Amino acid sequence: MNFTIRPSAQPDQSQPVVGFIPEFSSKPPLKELEAISPEEFSGKKFTHIILREGKKRILLIGLGDGKKVDDDTFRKASGVAIRQLNKIGVYRAQFVLDGVEQFAQACVEGILQGVYEFTSFKDSKNAKKAKVDEISFLISKDQVASVTKAVHDGQIVGECVNIVRQIGNLPGNYINPPTLADEALKLAKKYKLKATVFDKKKLEAGGFRGILAVGGGSKSEPRLIALEYKGAKNKSAKPLAFVGKAVTFDSGGISIKPWEKMEEMKFDKMGGVAVLGAICAIAALKLPINVVALISSAENLLDAHAYRPGDIITSYDGKTIEVLTTDAEGRIVLADAMAYARQKYEPAAMIDLATLTGACIVALGEYKAGLFGNNEEFIAQVKQASLTSGEPSWHLPIGPEYHDQIKSDVAHVKNVGGRYGGAITAAAFLELWAEKTPWVHLDIAGVAWTTREHVFQGKGATGYGVRLLVDLAKQFA
């Protein structure tokens, strides 16, 4: 997608013009709308109408209540716009941002969000290929410098989000721990990151027995991927640590899942893939901060080497885990990665992302991630990043009563705490491996993918977490 900026230019009548309209009740804001009834179009949120006058075409997108328009409104409205433009089959279009230039970055992100479709396994006749390949932004003359930077940054972030979506949508026979590591190495080279991959031998030598246990039932051996970006002036400054769960397929192991919707378990890698996309975006933006990303990857299958209910696993830092169900595997692979991050890098703060529990989806639906943490200041920073990035979350508690639920008679902890408060007891489990490091856990099980077609984006992986982590890194920087 090519983006150009045209200060105070009159629209080219041969190209469709896209405008954004707040909701109105009586007098329409444009003369072109005077003959249109409110039932046809009144600017309600994410509605649209195409006006034609000869060769001239104007696509108007509703923003809803003008007092409540924010970056996320504009991001999604731009996604609606590009999807409508693709339906009518145009190659170039003009977006009028004169007067709303503050939303330029969100607009670019939304365009890239809306234009993406997963077509890797469709032939060219059936593939839904994007038709728009060039966008011009019409802006006021005094906003050129700020909009140029916003477009640049929005394109970086949007492209990294789509990298995450593309990898996330790939099924388990294409993406497994070794091939995910290969993708990470390619991206590390492109974005100039230091990369270290722990294969099975290195995991055994290092004592990563949690990752090894979860991945023991698959022919695709587990991997721990470490990526480092040093953008701070002080290269030895403590980094911000991202940790991601990347279970490339989760059958549940011996505690096997029901078959219904098991195909969606290819998305159980989305926390790890989001972490990968985020550090790439941070590097491309050249943010002045040190960041380390740990991606803990395994495939949870079942064979004679699979771990079992009743097993006791000793994690990387020596804590022991009693396994009650092999379908609570994400917290086990995260435990090793969090312990390694804590001991190896001594981070200033650590955040993990994981499609961890169905209980979080029951609690919050597909609208918000569950947010947990051990440090109020860091929790506040992540909440702010959640708001500014348009990737919503909801703060849920952790306390001693939830730790009591996961006490084990035979080990330091058991990997589930019963039916009640499942998302919280999972977070309480992870808190043990954060120890005194300021830490936040985001349970993204409900927001990492969607099975519904939205007006602003298609089905599949959403790329949730990339923008949030980038905004968090900007706060730290």
Environment class of residue 178 by beta-carbon count within 10 Å: exposed (0-12), middle (13-18) or buried (19+)?
A: middle
The token duo for 270 is 């989305």
- In whole angstroms, how far apart are CA 471 and each of 33, 291, 327, 468? 38, 13, 32, 5
Helices (H), 218-357: 270-285, 330-345
Amino acid at 139: I
Q: Is 363 helix (H, G, I), strand (E, B) or coil?
A: helix
Are residues 443 and 351 in contact, defined by beta-carbon separation less than 8 angstroms?
no
- In whole angstroms, how far apart are CA 352 and each of 105, 434, 455? 26, 10, 30
DSSP codes, 408-449:
-SSSSEES---STTHHHHHHHHHHHHHTTS-EEEEE-TTTSE
Residue with tokens 């329409």: 28
Phi, psi of 329 (to 5 degrees): -90, -25
CA 384, CA 378: separation in Å to the nearest integer? Answer: 10
Cα torsion angle, 35, 37, 38, 44, sign: negative
CA 367, CA 393: separation in Å to the nearest integer? Answer: 8
- What amino acid positions are annotated as catalytic residues? 257, 331
- In whole angstroms, how far apart are CA 433 and each of 243, 295, 316, 338? 12, 16, 10, 6
